[in-house]
A and B are shown apart, each in its own frame.
Chain A
């Protein structure tokens, strides 16, 4: 529950601005923010930043080291690694955005149902959340992909299965806390419908902390996408993904280190950037979530 949500918009905006200024005073947060901005810009302006086509095969230029022409060198098919890394960033951010948004939507609905619904339903859902959350994810992903085949959708589905229980749990806890608060009781006594209470009174209050937590989960999402693509269970070739570049690097590791380094570095930079930013954001916005 954030105080900002119940304040008038102007006050909320200045509150947001103050938090942002506090963020800028934390060196680690600034560092994380810079990395994130760098990654986003690189992905958005991929076409401007490099003239190379990430999927164009050029057998004569295989295994080239970094040079002025190929900033990160080329892979075993002669494709420009810098271009592949930039375009791989698009895939990573796309998956992060889409799957987080869907997970949030599903998590909010399930959490509100568990928190606001009858007790038995709550208990059942908590059991399901706990069971799913503590399950070895990659194993489930492997089993799933065996059936539906490797694809970007499979990645998104796995991310949703991993993320939803955590989000639903948070929403549920917050909902239960707010359900018994005075303004909800007042609304109920004035005959507001359940839908209205959920939408108008509870939702705005539970969504703040959730968004912070979701932003902190972005590195996990990126790791899942890269990991599945690394195993060949995610993005299909020749589409570039950091995970598949890393896989190319792994299979060629005895010939050249460059491909593996080029595949690994953007993953490290992005996960570190989002993590440092998320950690600082959490401390700045909502100290109560500290140590979760």
Chain B
């Protein structure tokens, strides 16, 4: 069963300078118990995607069509605010990028962890016990007294582990991890990722792992989705996509990151050019203006092509290489 199945998702924002097409025909699956990496430059629509899944789009944002099927039954785009709110936390939970700002600075860690369980119907003592159990699981020293402490009394790495404990406390079916390690230094990053991996196995949830970091994705994820300018340009298993990239954008990403599996880079490698203005999307392929392999066929709208079972790319070169392969 797939935990999350996004298909044909389109998100528009109304801005002062006209409508902005932030996500276009986004399609991908997050199978049960698997970790799916989402990779792309900043501005590629990762945050919009998260907000669309969580039902937290800003007031000027709107899902025009497409569906987000959760656990094969409920379409998240059709749920009421109330129903969506009930899913957030217990079934779908999130770890955000900034561990410094993710916790409320004036409430104790204990209060925040107890508040999250407000739906559980347990006594306060039981909720506190559950919180301590989770803190122990993420290896917070002196977990019992940690409940009475405030976020600023913990280091950045500990805060992020607390945030992870909070997000997994309700044993969600899906964990969205939004660049959870970007703000941490390299050693902490490794430890945090290992922790995340352990906990995912224990709880058996699926993970949508957003990162700039190709190395981390290669290490942690089974599947990967490459996004560019609000579109999914390539998706498949990590092995397929990283060893046989079919979209020029994916290739450029990987080329720019030569030591991709060994050396950890902080930021995604830069590619010359800029993401197009999403208020005026090009008619054809969205990557064409920056593409080194551009040809006249790129001026037409591109659909997703299957490269192999479970490996797809939104580029017409896939057809050509397939044709070449046949003629050869």
Complex A–B touching at CB under 8 A: no
